[in-house]
Amino acid sequence: MCFGEDCRCRPLGFLLGLPFAFLALLLSIVGVVIWIVGILLSCICPCCLCVTVIVELALELIKAPIHVIEWFTQQIPC
């Protein structure tokens, strides 16, 4: 998201991105589950490096709806 004078309102991009953001929201729910399991596994065995990679991937899945809406609003002009 942008703030300032160069930020323009792009409602068409926002509306077109909503169905895809909903799908990304479903993926983010999966990301939350993976994140919780990964945190529990890292508490049990903190030496496993692969668990931290999985947790980082899960965090990106959680942020997916925001990235999708930002991408759509940047691609479609007013």
Amino acid at 26: L
pTM of the model: 0.67
| pLDDT of the residue at 5 | 47
| pLDDT of the residue at 9 | 64
Q: What is the pLDDT along the chain (78 residues), one digit of tens a residue?
A: 555 445 566 777 778 888 888 888 888 888 889 889 888 888 887 777 778 888 888 888 889 888 888 888 788 766
| pLDDT of the residue at 35 | 87
DSSP 5-63: TT----HHHHHHHHHHHHHHHHHHHHHHHHHHHHHHHHHH-TT-HHHHHHHHHHHHHHT
**Domain residue extents for the chain:** 23-75
